[in-house]
């Protein structure tokens, strides 16, 4: 594969530009993906933060749901942040009526897990897989991983033990938004997967 991987950002709704900026800064060629044929030329995909139920509805309206499911099942490296984590989960708790995910990640993810009182907060997380320093994590109406299957590695937990970052093969997901805090190590890890898959 060429030195700069072609990476898609699903651009139906959400913080697409923030991801595109980080990925471009790390040397990737970014493709904004809205149509099924745009999936064909990419080596990996980011599912941004935003509103998972809206992205789900738009994906269905744009005929993207099945192609996305197929791409994930076919082993494409995918990184989902926040709403993107919800969309990767095989099981969603507290989705809106009829909400579906693309799936692939053997996990149960609770949407809006912090309720209305603590909708947004920032904290520093020790992430062993990334080494020092800790990750400054921004949570915005964030989901939590409630349970994971045996193939899933937990990368980060809150101080109380709740799971906020996971990895399963080529799939990476965080409850928080590294793309808004200047943290690039999760995107670097994702790009390393993309390069390895190529």
Name the residues that contact ligand GLN, by CB under 6 A: 49-52, 82-83, 86, 111-112, 140-141
3-state secondary structure of 176: coil
Smallest gap from Cβ 3 to ligand GLN, in A, equals 31
Q: With respect to ligand GLN, which residue has the nearer C-beta, 5 or 143?
A: 143
Smallest gap from Cβ 14 to ligand GLN, in A, equals 6
**Other Cβ atoms within 10 Å of 36 Cβ, number:** 16
3-state secondary structure of 173: strand
Q: With respect to ligand GLN, which residue has the nearer C-beta, 5 or 58?
A: 58
Structure tokens that stand for 28 in this block: 């990737």
Smallest gap from Cβ 170 to ligand GLN, in A, equals 21
Q: With respect to ligand GLN, which residue has the nearer C-beta, 141 or 157?
A: 141
For residue 191, which of 64, 43, 87 has the smallest C-alpha distance? 43
Residues tagged active-site: 82, 177, 179
For residue 87, which of 71, 65, 61 has the smallest C-alpha distance? 65
């Amino acid at each position: 594969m060429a030195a700069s991987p072609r990476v898609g950002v699903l651009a139906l709704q959400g913080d697409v530009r923030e991801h595109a900026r980080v990925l471009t800064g790390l040397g990737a060629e970014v493709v904004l993906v809205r149509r099924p044929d745009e999936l064909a030329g990419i080596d990996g995909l980011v599912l941004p933060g935003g509103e998972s139920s809206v992205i789900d509805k738009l994906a269905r309206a744009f005929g993207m749901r099945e192609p996305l499911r197929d791409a994930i099942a076919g082993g494409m490296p995918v990184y989902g942040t926040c709403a993107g984590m919800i969309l990767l989960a095989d099981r969603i708790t507290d989705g809106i009526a009829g909400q579906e995910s693309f799936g692939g990640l053997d996990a149960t993810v609770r949407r809006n897990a912090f309720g209305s009182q603590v909708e947004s907060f920032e904290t520093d997380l020790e992430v062993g897989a990334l080494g020092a320093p800790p990750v400054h994590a921004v949570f915005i109406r964030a989901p939590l991983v409630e349970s994971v299957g045996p193939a899933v590695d937990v990368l980060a937990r809150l101080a109380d033990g709740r799971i906020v970052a996971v990895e399963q093969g080529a799939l990476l997901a965080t409850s928080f938004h590294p793309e808004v805090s200047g943290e690039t190590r999760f995107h670097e890890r994702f790009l390393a997967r993309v390069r390895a898959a190529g």
